Amino acid sequence: MTKEAPYKEIALRKQAERQSRIPRAWLLAALPPSATLDVRSIPRNCGILTAQEIHITEACDATALAQAIRQRKVTSEAVTIAFCKRAAIAQQVTNCLTEIFFQDAIATAKLLDEEYARTGIVRGPLHGVPMSLKDTFKVKGYDASIGIASLAKNPAKENSLLVDILLEQGAVLYCKTGIPQTLMALDSENHLFGRVMNPRNRLVTAGGSSGGEGALIGMRGSVLGVGTDVGGSIRVPAMCNGLYGIKPSARRVPYVGQQGTQKAGTSAVGLPASAGPLATSIRDCELFMEAISNASPWERDPHVYLGGLNKQGTVQEEPLIGIIRRDGVTEPHPPVNKVLDETAEALRRSGIDVIEIDAPAFKKCQSLTNKFFGVDGNNYVFDLLEATGEPLVGWLQGKLRRGTEMSLDKLVGFQAQKTELETEMLKIWREPITGRTVDAIILPVAPHPVAPIDRWSGVGYTSSFVLLDYPAGTLPVRDFQEADMDDELTGEPLNSWDKNNRELWNKPFDRSVYLNTKLSIQVIAPKLQERRLLQAMNLIDRALRGSNTQPKL
């Protein structure tokens, strides 16, 4: 009789442990039927949350909550309990959580309230605000298994540096969130925890690799979370769940002390990932970035650049926004082009100049980016998987395999090509006739709307800006509507990538799957100009929505 591979028993134990950490009173009486596609209303209607807890979790962003706590309108304990309860519900309908530490969080919130009552001083700008974390971050006493069985039951002995900084700034950490196996997919599924589902429409992906963060915040089980991005892993889940998400330039936010899928030091010779926020408002992204900058992380992480947001450039008094419509590899679907047009028109109505930008070098980025992935031959992650007999999930089968480590000569050659391409792409930041500075550029997050499960096509629109190290963000524009299904995508495919992309639009594909998903744009700024990016995104958001004030308690 064949013995079952160890990873299966580990997964059962791990899932049972996670379930045991949800209080009985927070369990749903019955899970929604499989036919239920939009589950966002369940927390509001299930009877577990009080009216005040519904208001706290739905009507306020993190900035408003921090202000309300400082003004003593609400306690951190009350806010934390509200989000723990809503996160528990979110887990039951989207499978978005990995590690749960609700009781620790409530105890921390009580201490913060007592400290504030005694001293009248808040710890920092995040004082009392609950925050969620991608599973890659280490929290002392809990696993950072990243969905791999051989890493389970191995509690972290210390926090990642960013975790320490968030705690010092007053944040209350209460859960960690789901990711794809190997962190190398844009749909979050693994054998240890299962698949994360999109709360807006469970027929489409929640994104990856920060998919659990996206789903949790999309359910309002969190208002501010931290993801990581080395190919689109913050920006894609933000798009999939109708959120704001920022990928800073590398080494702007501390990244040390995380659990990854490569040997330590590999990113220094390849493409380094970035940590950044997913949120329900632009100002919450800025709140996160300022909180990190105020902590002077360069004093504790030798890789973080000296300086913070206040030392960066800003948008001009008369802003100039550029548009790049395509990467030359995959042709955007009609609704993707339409929201670019709508955004440009909204900016022009607001008195902001918008120009079209031709970027022929953009076409070269995806190919070169792909060459940097798998610098170590993927051997480290395969060692982790094979230790418990764990196979690749379906989407990764045939796409990921063991290889040989990249030779020094080849790596040096790719780095030389990267420098040449970075230099060529600098031209996009100047208007060619007048020489006027372009403040920021809008373009697609992906060439298609939010894709069905396991069908995400091109990553060039996001991974290219990891190669170039530009700060980049996702900004939601509007819901996909029935009228968006009418237009056709004409012409012949540009290549095999574009052929796959067109199969997500052209008949016999059923475009109605995109209904109830969000159409978003991507915004980019020059390297290390996160303040400029945030200011530009705020300008664009206001142009699209008018005064973007948030309700207060």
**What are 173-190's pLDDT values in tens digits?**
999 999 999 999 999 999
Q: According to the model, what pLDDT value does residue 69 have?
A: 98
- The annotation places the binding site for substrate at 183, 209, 230-233
Active-site option among 85, 134, 247, 338: 134
Picking from 231, 176, 191, 241, the residue whose alpha carbon sits closest to that of residue 209 is 231
Active-site option among 132, 145, 209, 464: 209
Which residue numbers in the chain have pLDDT < 50?
none
- For residues 247 and 234, what is the distance between their CA atoms, to the nearest angstrom? 6
Q: How far is CA 430 from the centre of its chain?
A: 29
Task: Count, in order, helices (H) and strands (E) of the chain.
Answer: 17, 13
pLDDT tens by residue, 417-472: 999 999 999 999 999 889 999 999 999 999 999 999 999 988 999 999 999 999 99
Q: According to the model, what pLDDT value does residue 553 have?
A: 65
Q: According to the model, what pLDDT value does residue 488 have?
A: 95
Residue 134 among the catalytic residues: yes
For residue 248, the 8-state DSSP code is P
Q: Which residues have CB under 8 Å from 295's CB, separation 6+?
A: 124, 165, 168, 169
Q: Which residues have CB under 8 Å from 1's CB, separation 6+?
A: none
Active-site option among 222, 233, 274, 457: 233
Give the chain's domains with CATH numbers.
6-25+43-545 (3.90.1300.10)
Picking from 143, 311, 239, the residue whose alpha carbon sits closest to that of residue 456 is 239
Q: According to the model, what pLDDT value does residue 547 have?
A: 63
Q: According to the model, what pLDDT value does residue 309 have?
A: 73
- DSSP 3-state assignment of 445? coil
Q: According to the model, what pLDDT value does residue 550 have?
A: 56
Q: According to the model, what pLDDT value does residue 410 have?
A: 95
For residue 428, the 8-state DSSP code is G
* pTM attached to this predicted model: 0.97
